Amino acid sequence: MTRYSAYVCQDWLESPPSWLTVYDPSTDEAVGEIAELQPTVVDAAASSAAAAQRSWSRVPPAKRAEILTRTADLIDERAEEFVDLLAREGGRPQHEARGEVAKGSTTFRYYGGLVGALDGRAFEGGQEALRHETRHEPVGVVAAVTPWNVPIASPARKLAPALLAGNAVLLKPATATPISAHLMVRALYDAGLPDGVVQLLTGPGGSLGRAVCIHPSVGAVSFTGSTEVGLGIQQALAERTTKVQLELGGKNAAVVLPGADLERSADAVVAAAFASAGQQCTATSRLIAHQDVAQSMVSLVGKRIDKLTLGACTDPQTTMGPLIDDQQVTRVDGYVQRAVAEGAGIVRGGHRLERPGNFYAPTVVADVGPGFELAREEVFGPVLAVLTTDTAEAAAELVNDTSYGLSCAVHTRDLAEAHQFVSRVDCGVVAVNGATAGVELSAPFGGFKDSGTTSSKEHGPESMDFYTRTKLVSWRW
């Protein structure tokens, strides 16, 4: 079986303390083995990264950018290998894996073209012979901790801006899908990244991941994952000035109002609810339909679900994959069955599939009340809860009626109604006549409330703010 090493200090570590097997959740077959590191490795990795960062920060930004662009080219050249391994370790259908790998190379190319985002500002002072200047310096060593569901997109959107800014990165990818991160770090070094600037630390989050985040040499932690783990990291760092960026869970709603193009709305809802089998932070997990269109929407959504083909990730016919593990299938089913016990009705699905792999049928649950657990908690599976409402205003209130505030959508042809909705919702991302998922790389992304820290964004030039610190220089003569 192929072994995928970690990168520690100055080189790939060929003999780690132990190896962990990574499985394809669509077939239960082994994909490869990944190094399992102990938290004791973090001290050496962090000081090596700090030393490498001092030289890296002196490399002119345009040269750093060239390495990012070369990395993008290498990901494209190696796309077949990336797609194959990403698909198998996550159980993702081929078209999804292809899309995510393309997003990975696009991310490195985008930040490779964004050197100007590091420019400071020069301006006159309030007295004679006084001039000010701002410099955007790297933070130093960044800890990047990423979730299993976006194993290329999440590491890429942290690594690319962090490296452009001149930081070193300790990358701790998720244990379920670490091979994609291995391939990405290989591409970075093959593209000419100096030794030690990125350390790939694979192993359990609770011990190794935590040790990475709380290491005193780390100047900034960018974490994407569950709200519970994210808030735990923030709490552990409460007495330090370490920058913390949290991209957390969601309970995203799509609102459909009378007059909306229902076919288009149903396309957007189904795409965002069932892509990655609902395992996306921006997945549509609530459909809030006005009572005049609710029945039509449920029927249009159902027709689209009937066309989904569940299967192994290697089968090109597959359009929906499995859940990441068996425990998650049980968890998702628990949410559905408790909603039924609370009085909801199953319109589609509502059961696991008896076949190899961790499959759960694409599910629509109707008559979900606003107080139901299924209306409030993140399920992270292929389950769409349908709630009905009688006004646009009440729909916006329902959108806000969870602790999360990541993404939402409104489908309407009424401009005033759309404007009012946008102002009323407490979400970091709002799509008008679009899907809750699939935000463009050039657009700043991040949630409100329990969905994340609002002090910084990922994607776009805004991402550079997190990976830099601003120094003010005042010149007198």
Indicate which residues carry an active-site annotation.
247, 281
For 215, the 3-state DSSP assignment is coil
d(CA 111, CA 460): 9
User: Both tokens of residue 150?
Assistant: 């976006």
Phi, psi of 253 (to 5 degrees): -115, 145
- Binding to ligand NAP (CB under 6 A) within 330-369 occurs at none
State whether the Cα torsion 466-468-469-474 is positive or negative.
negative
Among the listed residues 48, 94, 149, 285, the single contact to ligand NAP using CB under 6 A = 149
The number of C-alpha atoms within 13 Å of 137 and in the hemisphere containing its C-beta is: 15
CA 45 to chain centre: 25
| Among the residue ranges 139-147, 237-245, 295-303, 386-394, the one whose residues contact ligand NAP (CB under 6 A) | 139-147
**The amino acid at 162:** A
Q: DSSP string of 358-400?
A: --B--EEEES--TTSHHHHS---SSEEEEEEESSHHHHHHHHH
Q: By CB under 6 A, is residue 46 in contact with ligand NAP?
A: no
Using rule CB under 6 A, residue 156 touches ligand NAP: no
Out of 41, 170, 233, 387, the only residue in the binding site for ligand NAP (CB under 6 A) is 233
Stretch that binds ligand NAP, among 47-55, 104-112, 146-154, 360-368 (CB under 6 A): 146-154
The binder of ligand NAP chosen from 145, 165, 187, 269 (CB under 6 A) = 145
DSSP string, 140-151: SEEEEE--SSST
> By CB under 6 A, is residue 438 in contact with ligand NAP?
no
Q: Is 161 in the site for ligand NAP (CB under 6 A)?
A: no
Element housing 288 (H / E) = strand 284-290
Nearest distance from C-beta of residue 178 to ligand NAP, angstroms: 8
- Collapsing DSSP to helix, strand or coil, 419 comes out as helix
- In the complex, the smallest distance separating the C-beta of residue 70 from ligand NAP, rounded to whole angstroms, is 27
- Residues from 10 through 39 that contact ligand NAP (CB under 6 A): none
Q: Which is nearer to ligand NAP, 247 or 367 (CB)?
A: 247
- 169 contributes a contact to ligand NAP by CB under 6 A: no
Is residue 205 part of the contact set for ligand NAP (CB under 6 A)? yes
Site size for ligand NAP, by CB under 6 A? 33
Indicate which single residue of 225, 311, 350, 357 sits in contact with ligand NAP (rule: CB under 6 A): 225
d(CA 45, CA 39): 10
The stretch among 124-132, 167-175, 342-350, 392-400 that binds ligand NAP (CB under 6 A) is: 167-175
Query: Do residues 261 and 411 touch, judged by C-beta distance below 8 A?
Result: yes
Pick the stretch among 44-52, 53-61, 208-216, 305-313 that binds ligand NAP (CB under 6 A): 208-216
Considering only residues 192, 206, 343, 369, which one is a binding residue for ligand NAP as defined by CB under 6 A? 206
Q: What is the DSSP string of 90-110?
A: HT--HHHHHHHHHHHHHHHHH
Among 248, 323, 339, 408, which residue interacts with ligand NAP (rule: CB under 6 A)?
Answer: 248
Q: Which residues contact 292 (CB under 8 A, 6 or more apart)?
A: 258
> Quick one: which of 219, 216, 239, 321 has its CA closest to 278?
321
Task: Compare residues 411 and 457 and give the one whose CB is closer to ligand NAP.
Answer: 457
Could you say whether residue 229 binds ligand NAP (CB under 6 A)?
yes
Query: Contact region for ligand NAP (CB under 6 A) — 3-11, 19-27, 89-97, 166-174?
Result: 166-174
218: number of CA atoms within 13 Å, CB side? 31
22, 30 contact by CB (below 8 A): yes
> 206: Cβ–Cβ under 8 A, 6 or more apart, which residues?
none
Q: Does 144 bind ligand NAP (CB under 6 A)?
A: no
Q: How many Å apart are CA 253 and CA 430, to the nearest integer?
A: 10
- Establish if 380 lies at the interface with ligand NAP (CB under 6 A): yes
Q: Per CB under 6 A, does 269 bind ligand NAP?
A: no
Q: Does 249 engage in binding with ligand NAP (CB under 6 A)?
A: yes
39 vs 194, beta carbon nearer ligand NAP: 39
Options 13, 65, 97, 281; binder of ligand NAP; rule CB under 6 A: 281
Chain residues binding ligand NAP by CB under 6 A are 145-150, 172-176, 204-206, 209-210, 213, 224-226, 229, 232-233, 247-250, 281, 378, 380, 406, 447, 452
